Structure 1
């Protein structure tokens, strides 16, 4: 059985405070986009994990799909499965690609192995794997808070607009991004700001990571500025970077971006 884990963008991201457990409390909106991986799970005689597409750094044994399998197996009698992941979502882009794979894997494993897990139970498993993994169980726009793993539904639909994602050839690690940010409570309410017309977001909806990431990687800042020059009504870095998305009223001409960056149209 095959599913297609999709990425997400962060619309607004406020790093509110440092927690006692070393994590940070956040306020952000997760919004699913069309860029996706492909994930296959079939019953097998032994547990296997293989991948194709974009290179996956690190040890394959540390992949979140395998971690999810072993986590669930502690409480359920799972048969061995063959897992194949075709990686298309850019890595180190702030798009939650690894978390998407983990969340979709939990849902797929639940179906293939007929475990009967509830949505809430699947979300609780996902929370143990990463702060934004649980989002991909529901996979609908949400206002996320605390570590980014607690959600409130939010009415947000950008279907009337044209979304473009630009990925510079830069990897921004989560550790690097958090190392340069200073937690502070936002003066504006993100949920209220996103109820306003998109044209008004530029002055109100911020990503706190941008200041330090742009300082160390001016190429990412240049992408955001160029998107505005090309007519974006809102543009921002997603998550901790390095991808930048733009919201347009119509399809822009971004051919010059394609020479040095990955460009994803109509996401």
Structure 2
């Protein structure tokens, strides 16, 4: 079976406060985009997991896909499978690639082995794997709150816009980013902003609270966002805790050519057609 787990971007990310369990309460809008890994599995005599594409600094037995397989195998006695994951979504970039891999595999194994796990149960399993994982079960635009696992659908259609994602080949550790960012309780409600304001005004009201911390350590990421605006983006931001940034452009408008920074990788993508 061949799967194509897609990435996501965050439109705004408000770090509200630190919880008693050590995590943070956040508010963010998560939107699926058409940048995809490929993940294939076939029956095998023994378990096997290989990768290609962007390098993963993690052993196969610790990969999140292996964790998904082992969780279901322990409960449902699954047969051995051979997996190959091709990483087109860079890790440590805020694009949710590993979370997408896990959730897409969770859904695929459920269907492949006819396990009859409900959507709600899939999300519960996914939430134990990572805060972003439940989002990819439905894979539609959502407001994410709590640690990011509480999801509420949002009617947000961005399919008439073009998206450019820039990955500077810097790995930003999410735990480090949270530790060094300051929670701020007083925030504009993101749902109200995207509902009432045109995209051309988002720059005035929507922020990513990780940016201040990350920009201080990696000023080249701030420079990328500035260049996206100079190239004609109507909204540009870092996604998640970085290091990838994106610009949203009008599809039919001719924009100034974006000069890719040294060592950076450019992805020209689009928004998935998932309108609620």
TM-score scaled by length of structure 2: 0.93
- Asked if the contact 1:168–1:242 (Cα under 8 Å) also holds between the matched residues in 2, the reply is yes
The within-5 A match list for 1:1-267 is: 1-195=1-195, 196-249=197-250, 250=253, 252-257=255-260, 259-267=262-270
Specify the alignment match of 2:273 in structure 1.
none
Please state whether the residue corresponding to 2:76 is helix, strand or coil.
coil
Distance (whole Å) between structure 2 residues aligned to residue 254 and residue 132 of structure 1: 33
What is the deviation of 1:253?
4.5
Structure 1, 58-67 or 256-265: larger mean CA deviation: 256-265
* Distance in 2, Cα, partners of 1:211 & 1:69: 38
Give 3-state SS (helix, strand or coil) of 2:260's partner.
helix
Indicate the SS of the match to 1:13. strand
| SS of equivalent residue, structure 1 residue 176 | helix
For each residue in 1:190-240, what CA deviation from the matched residue of structure 2 results, as whole angstroms up to 9, or x when unmatched?
A: 110111210110011110000010011000000001111111110000000
Query: SS of the residue aligned with 1:257?
Result: coil
Could you tell me which runs of 5 or more consecutive residues in structure 2 were left unpaired when the two chains were aligned.
Answer: 271-276
Please state how far the C-alpha of 1:178 moved relative to its aligned partner.
1.1
What SS does the corresponding residue of 1:202 show, helix, strand or coil? helix
Q: Does the 8 A contact of 1:42 with 1:112 survive in 2? A: no
User: The residue matched to 1:11 in structure 2 has which SS?
Assistant: strand
Q: Quote the RMSD (CA, aligned, Å).
A: 1.3
In structure 2, relative to structure 1, the CA distance for the partners of 1:230 and 1:117 (3 Å cut) is same
Query: Would you identify which runs of 4 or more consecutive aligned residues in structure 1 move more than 6 Å?
Result: none
Q: Which runs of 5+ in 1 are unaligned?
A: none
Compute the TM-score of the two structures, normalised by the length of structure 1: 0.96
* Alignment check: 8 A CA contact 1:41 1:108 kept: no
Q: CA offset at residue 70 of structure 1?
A: 1.4
Task: Tell me if the contact between 2:123 and 2:134 (Cα under 8 Å) persists in the aligned partners.
Answer: yes
